[in-house]
Amino acid sequence: MTDIIDGNAVAAEIRAGLADGIDTLADAGVTPCLATVLMSNDPASETYVSMKHSDCEEVGIEARDFEIDPEAPAEELYDTIDELNADPSVHGILVQMPVPDHVDEREVLRRIDPAKDVDGFHPENVGRLVAGHPRFKPCTPHGIQKLLAATDVETEGADVAVVGRSNIVGKPMANLLIQKSELGNATVTVCHSRTENLADKTRAADIVVAAVGIPEFITGEMLSEGVTVIDVGINRVDADTEKGYELVGDVEYESAKAKAGAITPVPGGVGPMTRAMLLWNTVKAAGDAEA
């Protein structure tokens, strides 16, 4: 029987586990506060930001919402970041990506105070992660580590194929998994669009993390029996549904499930964990600021 990994259930446990930290801060008169900044009219980005706000409300984190016209000059976004950096009541800052083309994404990431960088994308925080002493672990890979732990999937000594090399998922995932730590100590192969003989790499893996952004790219015949499959993809594909689309992962679910020992569904796998770890990082940021 394949274990269907329930991201919603594990995320609920993570949220419940944050209550102690939030109570301790409340005793000191502090409410953790996350500021989100959206400079986009993309409906998916709008949905993600609004979900992050309702998650915050649920656990007792204050969420402040900043929206900037996507046509506005980049300086408007930079100035907003500067103001949020200077505001001691704001502990975490999240600029929803992608930003418009006329905005320099790297400048945005550099500009956020690294102590408030709850995404973990600031170069200083990337450096700390690679050097093995992370401040904020990026939410999706951190959530995947927690999901593996909750499913009793051992990373120590495991062969992992990470398919995808993005700064948000693939690279930090590989870095976290190779670290000398309880949720690390794995041997990682990072694959991407130019990888030759990809199926040989995925078939050799005990754990496959699919984060390529291509619908149903990883199929069952690319996997070994008993593998753990973590599907990071959320792709909208045209479908004969009420909305005219459906969400599919980077993994062809049915054929992969037939091979896998454990697999994450889409939706309801990695997505809720990413959101839970953002709350985790915001509570950490507030705690660090008050320490």
Contact call for residue 276 and ligand GUN (CB under 6 A): no
Token pair 């672990």 is found at 137
Q: Which tokens sit at 222? A: 């690319």
Whole-number Å distance between alpha carbons of 257 and 272: 20
Pick from 95, 176, 212, 279 the residue near ligand GUN by CB under 6 A: 95
Pick from 5, 32, 56, 119 the residue near ligand GUN by CB under 6 A: 119
Nearest to ligand GUN of 167, 187 (CB atom): 167
Contact call for residue 97 and ligand GUN (CB under 6 A): yes
Q: Are 198 and 207 in contact (CB under 8 A)?
A: no
Distance in Å, CB of 267 to ligand GUN, minimum: 15
Contact call for residue 250 and ligand GUN (CB under 6 A): no
- At residue 94, what are phi and psi to the nearest 5 degrees? -125, 115
Binding residues for NADP(+): 164-166, 234
Whole-number Å distance between alpha carbons of 4 and 257: 9
Provide the annotated active-site residues: 52, 96, 119
Whole-number Å distance between alpha carbons of 119 and 282: 9
- At residue 62, what are phi and psi to the nearest 5 degrees? -80, 135
Pick from 7, 39, 59, 96 the residue near ligand GUN by CB under 6 A: 96
Nearest to ligand GUN of 31, 167 (CB atom): 167
Distance in Å, CB of 39 to ligand GUN, minimum: 11
Token pair 């004969």 is found at 240
Stretch that binds ligand GUN, among 89-97, 236-244, 263-271, 283-291 (CB under 6 A): 89-97
Token pair 């984190």 is found at 61
Stretch that binds ligand GUN, among 94-102, 142-150, 196-204, 255-263 (CB under 6 A): 94-102
Nearest to ligand GUN of 15, 257 (CB atom): 15
Q: Is 83 helix (H, G, I), strand (E, B) or coil?
A: helix
Residues 6+ apart with CB under 8 A from 209: 144, 160, 161, 162, 163, 164, 169, 170, 173, 230, 232
Distance in Å, CB of 9 to ligand GUN, minimum: 21
Binding site for ligand GUN (CB under 6 A): 94-97, 119, 139, 168
